Structure 1
Amino acid sequence: MNKWIRGTNAAVLSLAVIGIFIVVSIFLNSMKNLQVDLTQNKKFTLSEQTTQALKTLDKDVRILSLTSDQTEPFIKRQVVELAQEYKKRNGKITFDEYDMVQNPAIAKQYDVDPSGVLVVESGTQKKTIYYYDMFIPGQQQGEYRFSGEEKLTQAIVNLSAKEKSKVYFLSGHNEVPLNQMSTWRSGLESANYEVKELNLLREGKIPDDADILFVIGPETDISDKETELIKNYMNGKGKLYMALGFNKDMVSGWKNIDGLMAAYGIKDQHAIAIEPKQSVLYDPLTIIPEYGFHDITTKLQQYNLLTMMTLAVSLGNEPVENFPATAILKTTDKAYGETDLKLLAESSRSALDDKDVKGPLNLGYVVESKDKKPKAVVLGGSTFLVDRVIQQQGNRDFALNSVGWLHEQKDQVTIRPREGDALQQALLTGTQAKMIFYGTVLVFPLLFLVVGGTIWWRRRKG
């Protein structure tokens, strides 16, 4: 009788456990948005900016992943998992995967790359994100940063924009050519800017649709007639983004560039910033400036992303009525401005003397109009914008943030890249591989079976 009761209790208890498991499974399955991210780098947790953008999305968006056998499996998995997270958050998003080789007809419709591309489209608008643009090399071998969320969210936000903003890069004065700033250009185009080059000698005017005029790294002065055109443009609704370049003759030969900046209270001190002992990683001509308090730099400070400038010109401020200026980049008080530019250019040597400008030095200003509208961004250096440097630390974010502020772009997305685990590869011999296989497939299961059988037999006998 007791044996029958114990058996009945065991059966009832087993059924109860199974029933509870079924109920819990049904409950959890009904909560589609419930998930707990236990990964070390929270790679499945979307930022607040992305979550908000997906909540306000009111149009159908299709995301396509186009890959080939040349796409790294590890890279593909991260991108696909990210896109799937977006799909979960909003029912208007669909996600499809295609192999370029197996689906050549679909591949022909888009700008593809063998390493993989992500296409975001809505109606007639589409944005293409290359896989390799989402991964930034880390400081050490094998490390990386994944910026896929920032690029994908920005692409979705930009699909809502009806028109592109027109920006023009001035040429003809040995400025940094656009083909050496392809990363920045790509970022601007992804942020819905149409980027064009402008040679005033050929065009004779600044186009009426110019939202911003860029002057990046000039090595010679602007002519009198060009200066007049720029002043007329700025007297209207024009906006200026100027990043100075280095030239040993800038002291005596840049009266028009100096005059253009002076109209907005910015003074070229004709001195190159020197930071004697800031970091063992960089030479004294490379500056890691401190950020001033401003909308451009708030997120960079929060994420501890630094901006790096080389051969940066020291700037001063002589206040002009109706155009208040704010310093956003400055050196430490140990820095100084070397005024002997010819010596610096010939020998790269410098020593503080009475003619030099004592620190702290200002390396970047933003200028507003009297009604508090952005008017100009003036930076003492331009080398941080070129392809070989812009991906370091916060250079790219600073460059895009400053343009976004100048254009009053409220929907600019800045999401800190996720730090990825260093890729590690284990090298095994054939014997070691066999030992692992037989151990996990045969030995361990058999061991558990023997131990379990022994315990069951002893309890049955007892």
Structure 2
Amino acid sequence: MNKWIRGTNATVLSLAVIGIFIVLTIFLSSVKGLQVDLTQNKKFTLSDQTTQTLQALDKDVHIISLTSDQTDPYIKRQVIDLVQEYKKRNGKITFDEYDIIKQPAIAKQYETDPSGTLVVESGTQKKTIYYYDMFLPGQQQGQYKFSGEEKLTQALVNLNSKEKSKVYFLSGHNEIPLSSMNMWKSGLEGENYEVKDLNLLREGKIPDDASMLFIIGPESDVSDKEAELIKTYLNGKGKLYLALGFNKDMATNWKNIDAIMAAYGIKDQHAVAIEPKQSMLYDPLTIIPEYGNHNITSKLQQYNLLTMMTLAVSLNADQPVADFPVTSILKTTEQAYGETDLKTLANSSRSVKDANDVKGPLNLGYVVEDKDKKPKAVVLGGSTLFDDRVIAQQGNRDFALNTVGWLQEQQNQVTIRPREGDAIQTAMLTAGQGNMIFYGTVLVFPFLFLIAGGVVWWRRRKG
């Protein structure tokens, strides 16, 4: 009789515990927004800035993930998980996934990358985020930083911005064409800029709606009449983004470009920066500048993202203009020097330091403000970093977008610290070790538990 009572009590207690778990599970599932992030890097915890953005979102937003067989499944999982967290917190967000190989008709509607693309659209507005832009290299080999939240939240913030600024890229002087800067152009369009090409010979003037004029990589000088149009534009509210190209005759043939810079107290030293330090990853003509203390570069320094420049021209601002204070944002090391024999450099790509060269450290980039401390110009000694073949490396794209954002006085920039992530740990096992783990977990350990359970049952039965 006692055994029957004990058995009944055990059964009732077991059913009660199971019932409690069922009721608790139903209750927790019914409570919206309740979750506890137990992951090591808090990968499912959104920042306050993101939470506020989602709370303020009052329009329907469609997020689309476009991937292929070239998309890393681990990277894809993190991006998808992030979007799902956004979707949970605002019912106006819908989310769809497509394979660009299996569904090419959908892929043609967007600018996709085989490694993965995220499209955020609302009505006629559309923002494109590439998967590789969300992952930054970490401090140690194999580690990474995931900045997907910052990119996605910035896209949502930009969707709420109704104004589009028109910016014009000058052409006609062997500048880098817009067709070779698609990634930068796409990034600018994602930041609510309308990007257009401008040939002054054809148009005859700088359009009245131009909020910014870009001159990227000119290899020849602008004409006297073009220079007058540019100066007139800049004497008003116009803003300039100038990134020099390379010409072996720049010392004698760039009088108008030099005059435009001189109006802000910046001098082209007609010397190409050379970094004697040898590296297997880049040649002496490729410079990894040090950052100056400025809002443009502060995040790049914080995340240890480098900017790369090739055939960069040395600049100087030792005779400042009172109305236009300048700040250096890119500088070489003291070991670098400026090669002034440009013809020899152009013919042989080699340089030997001599007494005629400019001593380091060299300035490779300045920002200019007006007398009211408002952004007026960005002047860089090099332009190769904007090319599609280079801009994806390290911090080039972020630097390019940061400089434009500063010049345009963007006030809605999102700053969210990237999450640290460890590399996937791979265990190298032999076939024998793999079989041992399989049989141990599938057969041996369950069998041992059965034996232990049988022994306990037998001893209790015996009394």
TM over 0.5: yes
Summarize deviations over 1:4-54 as a string: whole Å, max 9, x none: 9977986797688667756765675536243214155x5434455434432
Residues 438 and 405 of structure 1: is their aligned pair in 2 closer, same or farther, counting only changes over 3 Å?
Answer: same
Residues 284 and 69 of structure 1: is their aligned pair in 2 closer, same or farther, counting only changes over 3 Å?
Answer: closer
Task: Give the C-alpha shift of residue 258 in structure 1.
Answer: 0.4
Q: Distance in 2 between matches of 1:389 and 1:121?
A: 28
Match of 1:152 in 2: 152
Gaps of 5+ in 2: none
Match of 1:176 in 2: 176
Match of 2:230 in 1: 230
Q: Is the partner of 2:152 in helix, strand or coil?
A: helix
Match of 2:360 in 1: 359
Residues 351 and 71 of structure 1: is their aligned pair in 2 closer, same or farther, counting only changes over 3 Å?
Answer: closer
Q: Distance in 1 between matches of 2:449 and 2:258?
A: 81
Task: Give the C-alpha shift of residue 457 in structure 1.
Answer: 2.4
Q: Distance in 2 between matches of 1:192 and 1:49?
A: 20
More displaced 10-residue stretch of structure 1: 239-248 or 334-343: 334-343
Q: Is the partner of 1:215 in helix, strand or coil?
A: strand
The amino acid across from 1:160 in the alignment is N
Q: Distance in 1 between matches of 2:280 and 2:428?
A: 35
The amino acid across from 1:307 in the alignment is T
Match of 2:247 in 1: 247
Contact 2:338 2:358 in 1 (8 A): yes
Residues 1:111 and 2:110 are matched in the alignment = yes
Identity %: 76
Summarize deviations over 1:285-341 as a string: whole Å, max 9, x none: 221111111111111111111111111111111211211101111112222111111
Task: Give the C-alpha shift of residue 144 in structure 1.
Answer: 7.4
Match of 1:380 in 2: 381
Match of 2:202 in 1: 202
Gaps of 5+ in 1: none
TM-score normalised per structure 2: 0.85
Contact 2:63 2:94 in 1 (8 A): yes
More displaced 10-residue stretch of structure 1: 143-152 or 379-388: 143-152
Residues 292 and 310 of structure 1: is their aligned pair in 2 closer, same or farther, counting only changes over 3 Å?
Answer: same
Q: Distance in 2 between matches of 1:102 and 1:381?
A: 41
Residues 276 and 76 of structure 1: is their aligned pair in 2 closer, same or farther, counting only changes over 3 Å?
Answer: closer
Summarize deviations over 1:340-383 as a string: whole Å, max 9, x none: 11122222222322211111111110000111110000011111
Task: Give the C-alpha shift of residue 452 in structure 1.
Answer: 2.3
Q: Distance in 2 between matches of 1:424 and 1:309?
A: 35
More displaced 10-residue stretch of structure 1: 213-222 or 386-395: 386-395
More displaced 10-residue stretch of structure 1: 333-342 or 366-375: 333-342
Match of 2:302 in 1: 302
Task: Give the C-alpha shift of residue 124 in structure 1.
Answer: 4.0
Q: Is the partner of 1:370 in helix, strand or coil?
A: coil
Match of 2:369 in 1: 368
Equivalence map 1:266-277=2 (5 Å)? 266-277=266-277
Residues 1:338 and 2:322 are matched in the alignment = no
Match of 2:446 in 1: 445
Task: Give the C-alpha shift of residue 201 in structure 1.
Answer: 0.8
Task: Give the C-alpha shift of residue 460 in structure 1.
Answer: 4.1
Task: Give the C-alpha shift of residue 59 in structure 1.
Answer: 3.0
TM-score normalised per structure 1: 0.85
Contact 2:63 2:120 in 1 (8 A): yes
The amino acid across from 1:370 in the alignment is K
Measured on the aligned residues, the alpha-carbon RMSD in Å equals 3.7
Q: Distance in 2 between matches of 1:138 and 1:177?
A: 33
Q: Is the partner of 1:389 in helix, strand or coil?
A: coil
Q: Distance in 1 between matches of 2:103 and 2:337?
A: 60
Q: Distance in 1 between matches of 2:174 and 2:444?
A: 71
Equivalence map 1:27-46=2 (5 Å)? 28-29=28-29, 30=31, 32-39=33-40, 42-46=42-46
Match of 1:126 in 2: 126
